Structure 1
Amino acid sequence: MVSNSDPLHQESSVDPGALLKVAVIGAGYWGPNLARNFKASQAWELSAIVDQDRGRALKVAGPLGDVPVFESLDALLSSIEVDAVAIATPARTHHLIALAALEAGKHVLVEKPLAGSRELGMAMVDAAAERGLVLMADHTYCYTPAVMKIRELIEQGELGDILFIDSVRINLGLVQPDVDVFWDLAPHDLSIIDFIMPGGLRPDSVAAHGADPLGTGKACVGHLTFALPNNAMAHINVNWLSPTKIRQMIIGGTKRTLVWDDLVPQQRISVYDRGINFEKASTSAAQRQAQAISYRMGDTWSPALPEKEPLGLMVAEFAASIREGRSARTSGLAGMRVLNVLEAASRSLEQGGERSFVASIDVQLEGTR
Structure 2
Amino acid sequence: MAERLSIAVVGAGYWGPNLARNFRASADWELAAVCDLDLARARQVAETVGGAPVTDSLDAVLRDRGIHAVAVATPARTHHPIVMAALAAGKHVIVEKPLADGFGRGEEMVDAAAERGLVLMTDHTYCYTPAALKIAELIAEDFLGEVLFIDSVRINLGLIQPDVDVFWDLAPHDLAILDFVLPGGLAPVSVSAHGADPLGTGKPCIGYLVIPLAGGAIAHVHVNWLSPTKIRQMVIGGTRRTLVWDDLNPQQRVSVYDRGVDLATRSRRRSDTHAARISYRLGDTWAPALPEREALSSVAAEFAAAIRERRRARTSGESGLRILSVLDAAAASLAAAGAPHPLALAGVEQDRRARAEREAVAG
TM-score (structure 1 length as normaliser)? 0.93
Structure 1 residue 231 corresponds to structure 2 residue 216: yes
Alignment match, 1:205: 190
- 1:51-85 C-alpha deviation (Å, 9 max, x unpaired): 11111111100122331111121132345620000
From 284, 298, 308, the equivalent of 2:269 is: 284
1:210, CA displacement in angstroms?
0.1
1:262, CA displacement in angstroms?
0.2
Cα distance 1:199–1:345, how it changes in 2: closer, same or farther (>3 A)?
Answer: same
Q: Distance in 1 between matches of 2:62 and 2:208?
A: 42
Structure 1 residue 122 corresponds to structure 2 residue 110: no
Within a 5 Å distance, the mapping from 1:311-330 to structure 2 comes to: 311-330=296-315
Cα distance 1:347–1:133, how it changes in 2: closer, same or farther (>3 A)?
Answer: same
- 1:25-54 C-alpha deviation (Å, 9 max, x unpaired): 000000000000000100000010011111
Q: How many residues align?
A: 353
Q: Distance in 2 between matches of 1:67 and 1:214?
A: 43
Structure 1 residue 62 corresponds to structure 2 residue 47: yes
Alignment match, 1:150: 135
Alignment match, 1:28: 13
Cα distance 1:212–1:282, how it changes in 2: closer, same or farther (>3 A)?
Answer: same
From 332, 336, 339, the equivalent of 1:354 is: 339
Q: State the identity as a percent.
A: 63
Alignment match, 1:10: none
Structure 1 residue 265 corresponds to structure 2 residue 245: no
1:279 match: secondary structure: strand
Cα distance 1:91–1:365, how it changes in 2: closer, same or farther (>3 A)?
Answer: farther
Of structures 1 and 2, the one scoring higher in RCO (CA 8 A, sep 6+) is: 1
From 79, 83, 105, the equivalent of 1:98 is: 83
Q: Distance in 2 between matches of 1:340 and 1:281?
A: 36
1:292, CA displacement in angstroms?
2.3
From 178, 201, 214, the equivalent of 2:199 is: 214
1:151–1:196 Cα contact (<8 Å) kept: yes
From 74, 98, 103, the equivalent of 1:89 is: 74
Q: Distance in 1 between matches of 2:23 and 2:267?
A: 59
Q: Distance in 1 between matches of 2:186 and 2:247?
A: 21
Alignment match, 1:299: 284
Aligned residue identity for 1:28 = G
From 22, 27, 32, the equivalent of 1:47 is: 32
Aligned residue identity for 1:77 = L
Q: Which region of structure 1 is more displaced relative to structure 2, 166-175 or 78-87? A: 78-87
Aligned residue identity for 1:194 = D
Query: What do you get for the CA RMSD once the two structures are aligned?
Result: 1.5
2:266–2:275 Cα contact (<8 Å) kept: no
Segments of 4+ moved more than 6 angstroms = none
1:288 match: secondary structure: coil
Alignment match, 1:8: none
Structure 1 residue 71 corresponds to structure 2 residue 70: no
Q: Distance in 2 between matches of 1:229 and 1:294?
A: 25
Q: Which region of structure 1 is more displaced relative to structure 2, 286-295 or 61-70? A: 286-295
From 166, 169, 182, the equivalent of 2:167 is: 182
1:280–1:288 Cα contact (<8 Å) kept: no
Q: Distance in 2 between matches of 1:280 and 1:237?
A: 34
1:364, CA displacement in angstroms?
6.4
Alignment match, 2:294: 309
2:63–2:89 Cα contact (<8 Å) kept: no
Q: Which runs of 5+ in 2 are unaligned?
A: 357-363
Q: Which runs of 5+ in 1 are unaligned?
A: 1-14
Alignment match, 1:240: 225
Structure 1 residue 255 corresponds to structure 2 residue 253: no
Alignment match, 1:333: 318
Q: Distance in 1 between matches of 2:21 and 2:351?
A: 36
Q: Distance in 1 between matches of 2:110 and 2:270?
A: 50
Q: Distance in 2 between matches of 1:46 and 1:199?
A: 34
Aligned residue identity for 1:208 = A
Q: Which region of structure 1 is more displaced relative to structure 2, 140-149 or 69-78? A: 69-78
Q: Distance in 1 between matches of 2:11 and 2:352?
A: 30
1:50–1:70 Cα contact (<8 Å) kept: yes
